[in-house]
Structure 1
Amino acid sequence: MKTFIRVVELWVPDRTRMRLEFGGGLYGEGLSAFRDVSEGLHFGYDEGLPGKAWTSGHPVILTRFTDSYFRRTDQAIAAGLTCGVAVPVFSGEFLQAVMVLFCGDDEAHVGAIELWHNDAETSHEMALVDGYYGTADMFEFNSRHTRFPRGFGLPGRIWKAGLPLIIKDLHDARSFLRWEDAAKVGINLGVGVPYRTGTDQTWVLTFLSAQATPIARRFEIWVPDEARSALVFRAGDCSGQTDLAALYAAKSIAKGEGSIGGAWATGMPALNDDLARDGSVAALQACASGLSQMVVLPVIGNARLDAVLAWYL
């Protein structure tokens, strides 16, 4: 099964904290040459896709590499990569890391990554900034002409909740206002992450997954318990139809335990391609299901961890 996301990279501040250096990556089959180029690069403030996200202070989607600020255009095109998404992780005003996702393109590629934005001074609705939709052209057209009030649709619900959300079976979910368009192209799962950059600026990054080319094979959301002593499972979805809520009932992940607990301890995103050595209950269960790679993104609000979004490739 080919996933919608083909590459995930981490870019972290170097010792001077004035440039970003390669901090690891997960690469799909046949992408070793792209990795070789990436490993030797550095990005300054506002330089390349990682640097642009650093400067912007919010996620950035680049849907065309040619004639842009992107620095690896030839290598990306040769590797069949067509879209990049950069997600900066800040603690207060200080950058922790930038996670960069790359999508590939082929005739059967269905799914979407979208960036939505609300400026409270000018609007009560959330509008699309940009998005990558693979071959879902009509779904893209309708999305670009849709706005969501707070609490409505996937972006609006995430905006209101202030936490990551997962909506399953989108073709039957009337709370997903684009459900008819989603059903036509086979999109069946929505995952979204809120991103706040100030009191009047809210961004939402959404992942819309199709069964044939899922964004990932499993998604999980973990949140601190009431005492903030451990992370507990909040929601999830697995392409293998595993009942994650039952699997993780009465289970928890300690601060600093494995990649998920480590994201809480450090405020840093993480990539893990050796789940057998992770030690957390999430990694052990993923291994048992035949999953081998984990991506971990901490969601930080007001300098405190709100949630951890983990997905498995």
Structure 2
Amino acid sequence: MMDTAVDTTATRTFIEVSEVWAPQDGVLRLAGGNYGHRTEFEAISGRESFGKGEGLPGKAWAEGKPIVLKDFDGSYFKRTEAAKEAGLKSAVAVPVFDGADLKAVLVVLCSDGEGRTGAIEVWAEHDGLMMLDDGYYGAAKHFEWVSQHTHFPRGQGLPGGVWASQTPVLMRDLGSGYRFIRADSAGRAGLTTGLGLPVPGPDGKACVLTLLSARGTPIARRFEVWDARAAKVGSKGGAELIDGICEREGPLWTDDTQQEPRRTSAWQGVIGRVLGTGAPVAEKCAPGIGPGYASVVALPIHRDGAIAHIVAWYC
């Protein structure tokens, strides 16, 4: 695998902070996160807890779907002042359910810097079409307007493709790709890479999360998709890396077809911990671990009582 070092100081990513809130004694408590230099916000978060329906993590728990909060002022967000001091303005909370059982809530927070372009979208099924439920786009205002006025039948575009396959989908070259319906406006916004993933909820309704990345302020510098379905990995379990993309040129792994597929098992590395716990991970990368990135988020997708896929992104 081509794990060359990456200069993590070159570009700030669209997502600045990632954190995992896990159920404990009837409330959500901080189970991990990557805060970068925002040590005060991290300390305040570590003292916080959320009941069902309380704050952003609690609201995602109660509603059973991803929640977008574009501005903290005047909202139900409990850490508004601390977030302001840390330069954070908006957030998206993604609940991870295994059937009706909540495993954790992943929260990603974005800064208030001008000119930061990207998109975190939530799509939901309405009357046989995938419609935009909400999204945060930074400076990509025209692309936001186009998205609000676009809908997808099953199998069409990134949201429709994820809906039809019930699997994560990576798309390259959004501005020129014929499969990406909003290619023209994506090109104008500088969006280049898209990751779509199903977000199963306790009500069984179709929901898709899309992360759209621009070169100037990428969502992340590397994406990976792991398949954990028994049909793929066999009776021994584990997960196999089936797709990925990173900011440097060339394939994510070598072209040597004689090599064994990249696999991992429960409790082996970050992906293995997700397999073992069924919950997401958000943390700083340990020195010497991974391909030279500063932080990692790994998010499981549960289906039929087991983890079907894991998506991971590195910054």
Q: TM-score, normalised by structure 2?
A: 0.90
Amino acid at match of 2:200: R
Q: 1:32: Cα distance to partner?
A: 1.8
Equivalent position of 2:77 in the other structure: 70
Equivalent position of 1:137 in the other structure: 141
User: Which of 12, 18, 25 in structure 2 is aligned with 1:8?
Assistant: 18
Q: 1:160: Cα distance to partner?
A: 0.7
Equivalent position of 1:304 in the other structure: 306
Q: 1:142: Cα distance to partner?
A: 0.8
User: Which of 20, 30, 36 in structure 1 is aligned with 2:28?
Assistant: 20
Instruction: Assess if the C-alpha contact under 8 Å between 1:46 and 1:54 holds in 2.
Output: yes
Q: 1:59: Cα distance to partner?
A: 1.0
Instruction: Assess if the C-alpha contact under 8 Å between 2:97 and 2:202 holds in 1.
Output: no
Amino acid at match of 2:150: T
Structure 1: distance between partners of 2:180 and 2:260: 28
Structure 1: distance between partners of 2:244 and 2:164: 19
Structure 1 stretches lacking a partner, 5+ long: 278-282
Deviation string for 1:28-81 (max 9, x for gaps)?
Answer: 33x222112111101111100010011011111111211211111112122221
1:230 and 2:238 are equivalent in the alignment: yes
Amino acid at match of 1:46: G
More helix by percentage: 1
Structure 2: distance between partners of 1:24 and 1:198: 24
Instruction: Assess if the C-alpha contact under 8 Å between 2:64 and 2:202 holds in 1.
Output: no
Structure 1: distance between partners of 2:260 and 2:137: 35
Structure 2: distance between partners of 1:198 and 1:69: 23
Q: What percent of counterpart residues are identical?
A: 40
Structure 2: distance between partners of 1:79 and 1:36: 12
Q: Which moved more, 1:34-43 or 1:240-249?
A: 240-249
Instruction: Assess if the C-alpha contact under 8 Å between 2:233 and 2:240 holds in 1.
Output: no
Equivalent position of 1:95 in the other structure: 102
Q: Which moved more, 1:136-145 or 1:86-95?
A: 86-95
Amino acid at match of 2:220: A
1:114 and 2:138 are equivalent in the alignment: no
Amino acid at match of 1:127: M
1:208 and 2:215 are equivalent in the alignment: no
1:255 and 2:266 are equivalent in the alignment: yes
Structure 1: distance between partners of 2:62 and 2:193: 31
Deviation string for 1:216-236 (max 9, x for gaps)?
Answer: 010000112241533111111
Q: TM-score, normalised by structure 1?
A: 0.91
Instruction: Assess if the C-alpha contact under 8 Å between 2:99 and 2:202 holds in 1.
Output: no
Q: Which moved more, 1:83-92 or 1:108-117?
A: 83-92
Question: Which protein, 1 or 2, shows the higher relative CO under an 8 Å CA cutoff with sep ≥ 6?
Answer: 2
Deviation string for 1:109-133 (max 9, x for gaps)?
Answer: 01010000004xxx11011011000
Instruction: Assess if the C-alpha contact under 8 Å between 1:83 and 1:102 holds in 2.
Output: yes
Structure 1: distance between partners of 2:104 and 2:97: 7
Equivalent position of 1:280 in the other structure: none
Structure 2: distance between partners of 1:310 and 1:207: 12
Q: 1:259: Cα distance to partner?
A: 1.2
Equivalent position of 1:266 in the other structure: 277
User: Which of 158, 164, 173 in structure 2 is aligned with 1:169?
Assistant: 173
Deviation string for 1:274-300 (max 9, x for gaps)?
Answer: 4447xxxxx54x2xxx21321110111
Report matched runs for 1:34-49 at 5 Å: 34-49=41-56
Equivalent position of 1:124 in the other structure: 128
Three-state SS of the structure 2 residue aligned to 1:197 is coil
Q: 1:200: Cα distance to partner?
A: 5.5
Three-state SS of the structure 2 residue aligned to 1:170 is coil
RMSD over equivalenced CA pairs, Å: 1.7
Amino acid at match of 1:92: G
Amino acid at match of 2:21: W
Q: Detail structure 1 runs of 4+ shifted over 3 Å in the superposition.
A: 274-277
Q: 1:199: Cα distance to partner?
A: 7.1
Three-state SS of the structure 2 residue aligned to 1:163 is coil
Structure 2 stretches lacking a partner, 5+ long: 1-10
Report matched runs for 1:284-299 at 5 Å: 284=290, 286=291, 290-299=292-301
Amino acid at match of 1:231: A
